[in-house]
């Protein structure tokens, strides 16, 4: 995965050093595509190389980073704000920069896992960061691609992700269970229109193979970690909660029960018009705190 640096802007603030990068990264759906990335470093007590969190937004870009053209969601914005205070550097990806994709255009979404790996490979050469301690977090669409990183956990020939957190992923499709060396935390809302059941299946299958896999469910939360959730109409890949798609790294797919699967079959069985709304976000800070505690525990000395 190769990345070409096109430009960077450096912004100094009293609490952090921030850069906006434009990168061209090879991605399997659109080919070479440009993305914007906001990188923020903590300014206090920086000794040696920093652990880095790469975070990916969901389908809806509903938050802004002050002073940056990088678009993101509320999850990544809060993660950024809290993580730099706890000693992490953070890289926020705007995966829709070139394509300007609407929230309901699920079919047009790029394979964000490719962007994450390309960015990680690029930043692994940066002397400010410790490539042994690169973490990934994503919400919704980004959470799904957090799980998709298990296709191949190496982002260089020498380095793999230190830990991964998937916040509110669908879990209706995931890579086959193996004994992966990268720990994974999945965080779900108990009242999400992406119900927790397939994530429970994923976590159990991974645990059974010896992977460090954990699931947290906030019982009153919807998809946005809110208590005011409502079921609405909208496209969602959530129709296979008890029989999710199992993907192999060689490209073959089956359903959990052994039935043959491919993109067309999975789309027909698993895509629905059942979505959700409500953004009071009572449990979002809890999810952010759980994410950062998980990453802190997995830092390699």
Per-residue pLDDT tens over the stretch 149-187? 999 999 999 999 999 999 999 999 999 999 999 999 999
> Which pLDDT score, from 0 to 100, does residue 9 have?
43
pLDDT at 43: 81
**Spatial separation of the C-alpha atoms in residues 104 and 118, rounded to whole Å:** 26
pLDDT band at 4 (very low <50, low <70, confident <90, very high): low
Rounded to the nearest integer, the mean pLDDT of the chain is 94
User: What pLDDT, on a 0 to 100 scale, did the predictor assign at position 13?
Assistant: 42
Backbone dihedral angles phi then psi of residue 259, each to the nearest 5 degrees: -60, 145
Helices (H), the chain: 74-85, 112-123, 141-148, 197-208, 263-270, 284-298
Check: CB of residue 248 under 8 Å from CB of residue 152.
no
Instruction: Give the mean model confidence (pLDDT) for residues 64-92.
Output: 97
Q: What is the pTM of this model?
A: 0.94
Determine the pLDDT at residue 265: 97
pLDDT tens-digit map of 244-264: 999 998 999 999 999 999 999
What tens digit of pLDDT does each residue of 15-68 get? 458 999 999 999 999 999 999 999 999 987 556 799 999 999 999 999 999 999
- Alpha-carbon distance of 32 to 82, in angstroms, equals 32
Q: For the domain bounded by 3-229+279-298, which CATH number is listed?
A: 3.40.50.1820
Instruction: Report the pLDDT averaged over residues 89-100.
Output: 94
Tokens encoding 1: 């995965």
**Out of 25-39, 97-111, 156-170, 272-286, which region has the weakest mean confidence (pLDDT)?**
97-111
- Residues 116-130: pLDDT tens digits? 999 999 999 999 999
pLDDT for res 218 = 98
Written as six digits, the tokens of 109 are: 């979404």
Instruction: Give the whole-angstrom CA distance, residue 256 versus residue 245.
Output: 6
Ordered by start, the domain boundaries in the chain are: 3-229+279-298
Q: Mean per-residue pLDDT for 197-223?
A: 98
CB 270 within 8 A of CB 221: no
In the predicted structure, residue 8 carries a pLDDT above the cut 50: no
How buried is 24 (Cβ within 10 angstroms: 0-12 exposed, 13-18 middle, 19+ buried)? middle
Task: Give strand ranges (E) for the chain.
Answer: 3-12, 16-27, 31-42, 50-56, 63-64, 71-72, 89-94, 129-139, 163-167, 173-175, 184-189, 213-218, 230-237, 245-247, 253-255, 260-261, 271-277
CB atoms within 10 A of CB 15: 12
The CA distances from residue 236 to 189, 245, 270, in Å, are 16, 15, 8
What is the C-alpha to C-alpha distance for residues 270 and 261, in angstroms, rounded to an integer?
Answer: 11
Task: Report the pLDDT value the prediction gives residue 87, as an integer from 0 to 100.
Answer: 97
Supply the DSSP string of 192-219, one letter for each residue: -SS-SHHHHHHHHHHHHTT--EEEEEET
Given a cut of 90, whether residue 14 has pLDDT beyond it is: no
């Amino acid at each position: 995965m190769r990345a070409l640096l096109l430009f960077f802007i450096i912004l100094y603030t009293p609490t952090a050093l921030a850069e906006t990068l434009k990168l061209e990264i090879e991605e399997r759906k659109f080919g070479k595509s440009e993305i914007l990335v906001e990188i923020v470093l903590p300014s206090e007590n920086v000794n040696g190389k920093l652990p880095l969190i790469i975070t990916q937004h969901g389908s809806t870009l509903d938050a802004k980073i002050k002073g940056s053209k990088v678009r993101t969601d509320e999850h990544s914005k809060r993660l950024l704000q809290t993580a730099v205070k706890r000693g992490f550097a953070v890289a926020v990806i705007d995966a829709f920069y070139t394509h300007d994709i609407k929230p309901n255009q699920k079919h047009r979404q790029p394979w964000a896992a490719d962007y994450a790996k390309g960015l990680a490979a690029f930043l692994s050469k940066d002397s400010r960061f410790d490539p042994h301690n690169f973490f990934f977090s994503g919400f919704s669409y980004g959470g799904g691609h957090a799980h998709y990183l298990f296709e191949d956990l190496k982002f260089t020939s020498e380095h793999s992700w230190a830990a991964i957190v998937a916040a509110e992923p669908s879990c209706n499709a995931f890579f086959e269970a193996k004994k992966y060396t990268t720990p994974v935390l999945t965080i779900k809302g108990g009242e999400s229109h992406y119900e927790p059941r397939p994530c429970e299946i994923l976590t159990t299958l991974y645990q059974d193979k010896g992977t460090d896999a954990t699931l947290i469910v906030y019982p009153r939360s919807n998809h946005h970690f809110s208590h005011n959730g409502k079921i609405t109409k909208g496209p969602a890949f959530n129709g296979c909660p008890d029989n999710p798609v199992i993907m192999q790294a060689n490209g073959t797919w089956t359903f959990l029960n052994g039935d043959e699967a491919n993109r067309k079959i999975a789309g027909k069985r698993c895509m629905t018009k059942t979505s959700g709304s409500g953004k009071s976000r009572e449990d979002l800070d809890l999810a952010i705190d759980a994410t950062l505690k998980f990453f802190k525990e997995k830092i390699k000395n």
